[in-house]
Amino acid sequence: MPKYDLAVIGAGWAGYNAAIKAKELGLKVCLIEKDRIGGTCLNYGCIPTKILIQSAKIFLQALKSKTFGVELENPRVNFGQIQQRKDKIISLLAQGMQSRLKGIDFIKTGAQIISPGRIKIESGEIQAKFILIASGSRPVELAGEIIDSDKIISSNEALSLTDLPESLLIVGGGFIGCEFAGLFSALGSQVTIAERMPLLLPGQDSQISRKIEVIFNKKGIKVSCGADISSFNLNNYSHILACLGRAPNISDLGLDSLGLKLENNRIAVDGYLKTSVDNIYAAGDCASKLMLAHYAAYQGALAVENIISDNSHKADNFIVPACVFTEPQISSVGMSEENAADAGIKIKVHKFDFRASAMAHVIDEAEGFIKIISNLETQEVVGACMIGPGACELIAVPTMAISARLNIKQLREMIFAHPTLSESLRETINN
């Protein structure tokens, strides 16, 4: 029976980074994955959606090329070729990840935890001093409906369609639903979003939520907020895409027999990512309220550090940027105006409109704004959100500022290159 210092279940961003960290720290480690290396992010989420979104962006730029004095005749979408490019890039990235696993036993199989030190796999059993569960998440299905590959589909199936949907109803206006709405609308589908909450992107800054709805309407995307799916005639759409969020993927791990504590259907962990069972830790979507790949990677590596250092590294970094790759992009980090009001913190909101940015006009993407929030008493930057060109890259600067507890004066002293989109951050705090 093979014996390891650490067995990691799940080769997504949490598990993969945990295994790499364990190897670096000298542990004998195995990485168990029943599906594909890279998990949801590489195969069914972050990466494939962004590949398709980039193709959609190129198509939109081609359609408005005359704006830049470039005349193109009849640009069209070859959806099959777009999908081939996606598959090629995913395969390339997967090979790169696989190459980094030298010194780690990669076991492609399902796994069931028998006891804190034993795992059942297809070929038998393995022993491990510690186990890290990083089994990820799965799409939430429509209540009362069964996801099928023909008409009612999840985000997983949406990424492998061979033909563009003629008409698409997206149930759920969170970041996944909004990204798919922008993507398929740009490529030529007639798109409708049904969101049960009053605004798109629940939890996001309300001004940004209203702004993206206005932009979607301009693009011909029909938005119905406060909507009940039962009021829609599903026969009016060629496809129905369920984007109702994701749920922890923990049903086949044998957790019931372990007596491992759950919390809101997630694996319950303490501040050090340790579960209620000795020597078992959990990280990423299966245990976290924040289902973000970069946060999962952070948790995976930190869990390993706690395993070797007897829980000396608390998982208390909640300064986590969130990005939505719509057109224009949306991003946020730290405290929102609503958060500050709820906490009774007095703030100052600094705002900048991209219509005042030279570079935004150069690239003809001047719609949107930046908001940076500072503590009125200490002047420290405590939050930021933005909608506009390059928002998902620009959010790195406020993230760093909040992490380093920089104040507005210190940010003003930074010199940003001109003409760039990033100088808009400095202009924001001058307002």
> For 151-178, what is each residue's pLDDT tens digit?
899 999 999 999 999 999 999 999 999 9
Residues 39-49: tens digit of each pLDDT: 999 999 999 99
Amino acid residing at 206 = S
In this predicted structure, what is the pLDDT of residue 311?
A: 81
Q: What is the distance between the alpha carbons of residues 153 and 177, in angstroms, rounded to a whole number?
A: 12
Confidence label for 141 from pLDDT (cuts 50, 70 and 90): confident
CATH topology of domain 152-244: FAD/NAD(P)-binding domain (3.50.50)
Q: What is the distance between the alpha carbons of residues 140 and 121, in angstroms, rounded to a whole number?
A: 27
The mean per-residue pLDDT over the stretch 357-362 comes to 98
Residue 286 phi, psi (nearest 5): -70, -15
Give CA 333 to chain center in angstroms.
13
CATH of range 3-138+247-309; options 3.40.50.620, 2.60.120.650, 3.50.50.60, 3.40.50.720: 3.50.50.60
Q: Count the helices and strands in the chain (H runs, E runs).
A: 15, 21
Question: What six digits make up the tokens of 88?
Answer: 């090629």
294, 313, 361, 418: which is the annotated catalytic residue? Answer: 418
Confidence label for 136 from pLDDT (cuts 50, 70 and 90): very high
Torsion of CA 229, 235, 236, 237, to 10 degrees: 80
Mean pLDDT score of the chain, rounded to an integer? 95
Residues 260-315: tens digit of each pLDDT: 999 999 999 999 999 999 999 999 999 999 999 999 999 999 999 999 998 889 99
Instruction: Please tell me the class of the 328-429 domain.
Output: alpha beta
The mean per-residue pLDDT over the stretch 227-240 comes to 92
In this predicted structure, what is the pLDDT of residue 52?
A: 98
Q: What is the distance between the alpha carbons of residues 123 and 140, in angstroms, rounded to a whole number?
A: 31
Residues 169-207: tens digit of each pLDDT: 999 999 999 999 999 999 999 999 999 999 999 999 999
Residues 303-352: tens digit of each pLDDT: 999 999 988 899 999 999 999 999 999 999 999 999 888 989 999 999 99
Which position has the higher pLDDT, 30 or 148? Answer: 30
Predicted TM-score of the model (pTM): 0.95
| CATH 3.30.390.30 domain locations along the chain | 328-429
Pairing of strands 124-133, 118-121: antiparallel
Q: What is the distance between the alpha carbons of residues 244 and 175, in angstroms, rounded to a whole number?
A: 10
Check if the beta carbon of residue 201 is closer than 8 Å to that of residue 377: no
E strand or H helix at 369: strand 369-375
Residue 146 has pLDDT above 80, yes or no: no
Confidence label for 215 from pLDDT (cuts 50, 70 and 90): very high
The mean per-residue pLDDT over the stretch 200-218 comes to 97
Check if the beta carbon of residue 240 is closer than 8 Å to that of residue 169: yes
In this predicted structure, what is the pLDDT of residue 174?
A: 97
| CATH 3.50.50.60 domain locations along the chain | 3-138+247-309, 152-244
Please confirm, yes or no, whether 418 is among the known catalytic residues: yes
In this predicted structure, what is the pLDDT of residue 369?
A: 98
Confidence label for 362 from pLDDT (cuts 50, 70 and 90): very high
Confidence label for 148 from pLDDT (cuts 50, 70 and 90): low
User: Which residues sit opposite 121 in a β-bridge?
Assistant: 111, 124
